[in-house]
Structure 1
Amino acid sequence: MQHFLTRADFPHLLTSLQAEGHHCIAPQVRHGAIVFDTLEQVSQLPTGWQDTQQPGHYRLHQTGSPYWFDWANGAAAIKPHTFAPQENLWKVVRDESGRLHFKTILPKPQKIAILGVRACDLAALALQDQHFLHGEYPDPYYQQRRDNLLLIGVNCTHAAATCFCVSTGDGPVIRSGYDLLLSEIDDGFVLEIGSERGEHLAKQLPLHAASPTQQATAQQRMQAATQQSRTLPEKPPLYDLLQHPHWEDVGARCIACGNCTSVCPTCFCHQEVERPALDGNSSTHERLWNSCFDPSHSHIHGGAVRRTPKDYYRQWLTHKLAGWHEQFGRSGCTGCGRCISWCPVGIDLTAEVGSLTA
């Protein structure tokens, strides 16, 4: 059943989340970009803002519309709220007799509600869940945060020129993975319930049955997001093309900054480091985000296996689009296009795959 929440009644959603003890995260305009940050009142939402994206280009412009979610995506996704950029895993302490004692440091996350999650990011979260939770050794640090996450999805009504989620099968319409789902129209939101937690929350809201006109309008607005020009093959044969001369071309343009892996909602590479205390009696073991564009990523005895931007980019693309099929049964790309927009030199992975497979 589809419900309707008027725009005037929307603050009830925020009040209910806060009353349930959730720290609310939602999109806001910061320094010329849409970012997810703490939401304390509805007026902080990006009213009337829309984005223009191209390779190496991201700009916001004001449309004057009443819409809060009429944009494609910003640089941030859900990932930082589950796979923390930096966290302590365990600590070792030396007692007076010289014996070492190890203690796991599990996070104690507060409940977080993220408002404005898109289809590509929910698909990416499902891949992160598969990596961190569904293997032989589930990650308890990720699990603690994931269990405390409530997700309110919003269907896309606008596609950036860099979006290609239709070709990966991950959007723009949200089909699963949400607690509540919103589709924005002029005077409010068509609302759908996706979980028991979502149902509990919906009972606290002044909802009405969505009329056929409201449902049709929401459906019509979602069609605008399907106009995407970029595509990606389901499984490009990149392992058969490791010596293709085009790798040299893209390597000459790549500056190995790692932006593509930082904004990617599915990348999970990390490093683990020791932080010893100056007195030598304790040390903390940390996990930090890392990137296959970091020379240390492939370092073994004798040096690094991958040493040039060509090597880094080839590793990233072949793993993301080919190796993930062996690991997870699908591509590691959900078509969000962030790596295209936020690449300083405008490298477009869909164009690179096209050149490699032509």
Structure 2
Amino acid sequence: MEALPNTADAGMTRPRLIDDPRDLLRHFLGQGYRILAPQERDGVIDPAPLTEPEALPRGRVDDQGPGHYRLRDGDPDRWFDYVVGPSGWKAWLYPARRKLWSAERTDDRLTFRDATTAWPKTVLFGVRPCELAAIARQRRIFAEGPYVDTAFAERLERSIIVVVQCARSAPTCFCASMDTGPRAVAGYDLALTELPADHGAAFLVESASQAGDDVLHTLGGATARPRDHAAALDLSRAAAARQTRTMPDDIAGGLKLRLESPVWADIASRCLTCGNCTLACPTCFCSDVEEVSDLSGDHAERWQLWDSCFNSDFSFIHGGPVRSSPAARYRQWMTHKLSYWHDQFGSSGCVGCGRCITWCPVGIDLVAEADRLMAEGTD
């Protein structure tokens, strides 16, 4: 585990202690921010617009496993004992369906209008460390490469990120082996650690930006003590130690040597090619472009929408799809995610959140399949 950053040496406001996370929500609402925060709906906890601090879930725990997710009651005094839900922050920063432009024809003249809508100043509240890592990976693709998605860049620029450090790991979590959690050390504005009930304080609040500093100055509160830091770090270490899944260290190079393995066909015999794993994944970014027009032909629109490499038409060119079999499509997804991302973007495309395991309807376990492949010889 990485050590806690020394915010005093970094020039940031010293961490504070607060009793109730709703105090932060009230502050942001009073400042006119839109808040996206975890909320319970349809049997899951996922980010949604929050207008009442009392809507923040409390005393809830998520039981997760391959193809399984259920919420249940937990300690009524604990706020963040659930982990990640099905969609997360990608659905907001990189929407599943977005209008790019529209066009009108009048008197044989075409008028084009940009359909980009303004992103209000927003707080992303309750981001988990693995999700923060996923946001950073999408930022590298959409905002820091040669071709910038200006809408994505604006959303991040106008957002304050409040991380919740994980004190609990779900059975599907493997962020520790991906070095993306369960504790974030940079890249956020504020970070909350929910301390043990017997500690004598509720939340340690750390800042990693000027925006975070400004909030801490306004909130006030007691300055954190060394034992508060120690308790926070102990929680992170314990959460990491409870993780039972570990991605093989040599998976990136190993997959390239196993492209003809019979394991791919075995996985394909169970895979529905439904694309649930790519939709739930916080880093998958494949998309398609769709153009529609009205019956008169005087109005047209272009939309961007999520796509998936599991769709047979995704690789369609003249003569048919490049990857016609389920085995080829699963291999494409897994090798790109765990191996070829390193070549393209300098990191893995997986952050260890476990969503692809939980939300696979037949319970295919990415880590278990990686272990099977790596256990095979390469001759």
Aligning the two structures, in what range does the TM-score lie when normalised by the shorter sequence? over 0.9
The SS at the match of 2:351 is coil
The answer (yes or no) to whether the contact 1:236–1:321 under 8 Å persists in 2 is no
**Which amino acid letter does the alignment assign opposite residue 370 of structure 2?**
V
1:143-201 Cα deviation digits (max 9, x unpaired): 22222221100110001111111111111111111110111123421011111111122
Offset of residue 311 of structure 1: 1.8
The answer (yes or no) to whether the contact 1:11–1:41 under 8 Å persists in 2 is no
Pair 1:71 & 2:82 matched: yes
Pair 1:335 & 2:352 matched: yes
5+ residue gaps, structure 2, are 1-7, 9-13
2-structure distance, mates of 1:36, 1:232: 27
Identity of aligned residues (%): 41
1:233-291 Cα deviation digits (max 9, x unpaired): 34242222221111000000001111100110000000000011221112111000111
2-structure distance, mates of 1:357, 1:67: 40
The answer (yes or no) to whether the contact 1:106–1:140 under 8 Å persists in 2 is no
The answer (yes or no) to whether the contact 1:120–1:170 under 8 Å persists in 2 is yes
Instruction: Give the aligned partner of residue 146 of structure 1.
Output: 156
Instruction: Give the aligned partner of residue 342 of structure 2.
Output: 325
Instruction: Give the aligned partner of residue 11 of structure 2.
Output: none
Instruction: Give the aligned partner of residue 130 of structure 1.
Output: 140
The answer (yes or no) to whether the contact 2:102–2:302 under 8 Å persists in 1 is yes
Instruction: Give the aligned partner of residue 131 of structure 2.
Output: 121
**Which amino acid letter does the alignment assign opposite residue 107 of structure 1?**
T
Structure 2 matches for 1:47-196, cutoff 5 A? 47-96=58-107, 98-185=108-195, 186=197, 187-196=201-210
Instruction: Give the aligned partner of residue 42 of structure 2.
Output: 31
**Which moves more between the two structures, 100-109 or 126-135?**
100-109
Pair 1:16 & 2:27 matched: yes
The answer (yes or no) to whether the contact 1:94–1:281 under 8 Å persists in 2 is yes
1:190-246 Cα deviation digits (max 9, x unpaired): 011111111122222132101233333222222221121111134242222221111
**Which moves more between the two structures, 69-78 or 324-333?**
69-78
2-structure distance, mates of 1:72, 1:339: 14
Shift in alpha-carbon separation, 1:60–1:108, aligned structure 2, 3 A: same
2-structure distance, mates of 1:39, 1:119: 21
1-structure distance, mates of 2:202, 2:362: 39
**Which amino acid letter does the alignment assign opposite residue 231 of structure 1?**
T
Pair 1:7 & 2:12 matched: no
Instruction: Give the aligned partner of residue 248 of structure 2.
Output: 233
Pair 1:296 & 2:307 matched: no
The SS at the match of 2:211 is helix
**Which moves more between the two structures, 274-283 or 124-133?**
274-283
1:107-160 Cα deviation digits (max 9, x unpaired): 211122111111100111111001101111111121222222211001100011
Instruction: Give the aligned partner of residue 361 of structure 2.
Output: 344
Pair 1:251 & 2:268 matched: yes
2-structure distance, mates of 1:95, 1:49: 56
The SS at the match of 1:204 is helix
Offset of residue 99 of structure 1: 3.2
TM-score of the superposed pair, with normalisation by structure 2: 0.90
Offset of residue 72 of structure 1: 2.1
The answer (yes or no) to whether the contact 1:71–1:156 under 8 Å persists in 2 is no
The SS at the match of 2:257 is helix
Offset of residue 92 of structure 1: 2.3
The SS at the match of 2:238 is helix
TM-score of the superposed pair, with normalisation by structure 1: 0.95
2-structure distance, mates of 1:256, 1:202: 47
The answer (yes or no) to whether the contact 1:3–1:207 under 8 Å persists in 2 is no
The SS at the match of 2:347 is coil
Instruction: Give the aligned partner of residue 5 of structure 2.
Output: none
RMSD of Structure 2 on Structure 1 (CA)? 1.6
**Which amino acid letter does the alignment assign opposite residue 75 of structure 2?**
G
2:225 counterpart (202, 211, 216):
211
Q: Which runs of 4+ in 1 moved over 6 A?
A: none
2-structure distance, mates of 1:40, 1:218: 29
2-structure distance, mates of 1:52, 1:299: 39
2:300 counterpart (279, 283, 286):
283
1:223 counterpart (220, 234, 237):
237
2-structure distance, mates of 1:51, 1:103: 44
The SS at the match of 1:203 is helix
1-structure distance, mates of 2:369, 2:362: 13
The SS at the match of 1:75 is coil
Q: Number of aligned residue pairs: give it.
A: 356
**Which amino acid letter does the alignment assign opposite residue 62 of structure 2?**
D
Pair 1:265 & 2:282 matched: yes
Instruction: Give the aligned partner of residue 3 of structure 2.
Output: none
Instruction: Give the aligned partner of residue 315 of structure 1.
Output: 332
